Each structure stands twice: as C-alpha cells, then as structure tokens.
Amino acid sequence: MMQAIYDRLKDRFQLGALDVRSRKGLAFVDLRREFLRPVLTELRDVEGFTHLILLTAVDWIEDERFQLTYLLNNRQKNLDLGLRLRLDRNLAIGETIHDLWPTAATYQRELREMFGIAFPGSPRVDEEFILEGWTDMPPYRRDFDTLAYSQQTHADREGRETSDPREFMKQILYPKD
C-alpha cells in the first residue's frame, strides 16, 4: 500500500528511495526542500495523511546538516510516513507549515529554541518556549555538551572517589611489573 502511494508521488516530487527497514506500516523517504509543501499538501489532501504526528530534527553534525523529520499518519490505511528533509546546518532555515497544520507552529517554536532552526513566518516562533533566559547555544545541538555544562553549573558531592579494579589490583599486587 505504501509502495503504491510512493509510486504515485515518486517521479512528480523526485522522492528519494523508500526506506521500509524498520517496522510494518512505517516508511521513511528523503524529500527535496522545494517539494516539501506540495508533497505535504498532496499527502494530506489526496492520500489521506491528515495527521501530523510530529515534526522534529536530528543533528547530523558530522555531515554538517540537520534532518527535519515530518511524521504523518493515514489512519484509515494504518500507515505512518516519515519525510526526511536536509537542512544545511550552517544555514538552518526551515519552511513553516503552520498553515497546513496549525499545531506545527509549536513544533517549529521548539525547534527554533532547541536546535536553532529558524522558521520565518511561523507564529510566535521567537518566543521562549521551554527555556527562559537561556544564553548558551541551542541545547539540543550535538555540540552542546551536557556533561560539561553540568560540571560548570553544579559542584560534585564531596568525598566521592572511585577506583578501577584493574588499576587498583595493579597498584596493590604488582606495582613493579
């Protein structure tokens, strides 16, 4: 069923290969940026993918890109379809879809705050969402080091000390070898 939908859209929207490796009823497909809106509209209005499950990002920092994942659901056919869109990590500007799904504005506001991905035109996208008074880099980016942040912000409890079994045994049993 997913294959049939894919076949209908593939050529018109130059879709990438259909990735069905995960579970039954779920597929992912790579999407070119310029086709985001037409594909989403077609999927929603023609193919029955009326439910936007979620919109989120994955930071592939080593490839210098963000992946935006638009996860849609067709309830009648019990199909979940994930559209993957690449964004240049150094020019992280996405296209707002709040007019297609108003709830997308919330996701976009979060992505703006947590990943630093801009969505021009999305309502209240620059308002603080979860973080208030945050001045560091967007914290869900891969290069934000939570451990380092925690070590800078909080002190360790005093008196904590641990030993590695191997090193400890060497120290006691065969320090000279």
Of 4 and 159, which has the nearer Cβ to another protein? 159
Residue 41 C-alpha from the chain's centroid:
21
Q: Is 174 in the site for another protein (CB under 8 A)?
A: yes
Yes or no: say if 57 and 49 are a contact pair by the CB < 8 Å rule.
no
Binding of another protein at residue 8 (CB under 8 A)? no
Alpha helices in 66-177 (DSSP H): 104-114, 146-153, 165-173
d(CA 85, CA 65): 10
Helix (H) or strand (E) holding 45: helix 36-45
Q: How far is the CB of 67 from another protein (least distance, A)?
A: 8
- Position 63 contacts another protein (CB under 8 A): no
Report the nearest approach of another protein to the CB of residue 103 (Å). 4
Residue 116 binds to another protein (criterion: CB under 8 A): no
| Helix count and strand count (H, E) for the chain | 5, 5
66 binds another protein per the rule CB under 8 A: no
Q: Which of 33, 46, 142, 151 binds another protein (CB under 8 A)?
A: 142
Instruction: Select the span of 1-9, 31-39, 45-53, 86-94 touching another protein (CB under 8 A).
Output: 45-53
The 65-74 sheet, strands edge to edge: 18-19, 26-31, 79-88, 65-74, 51-60
> Looking at the DSSP assignment, which residues form a beta bridge with residue 116?
none
* 117 makes contact with another protein (CB under 8 A): no
Which range in 10-18, 30-38, 89-97, 125-133 contacts another protein by CB under 8 A? 125-133
Determine contact, residues 153/127, Cβ cutoff 8 Å: no
**20 lies in the site for another protein, by CB under 8 A:** no
Task: Kindly state the helix (H) or strand (E) to which residue 56 belongs, with its residue range.
Answer: strand 51-60
* Residues near another protein (CB under 8 A): 21-23, 25-26, 28, 50-54, 56-59, 69, 71, 75, 78, 80, 82, 99, 101-103, 105-106, 123-124, 128-132, 139-140, 142, 144, 146-147, 157, 159-166, 168-170, 172-174, 176-177
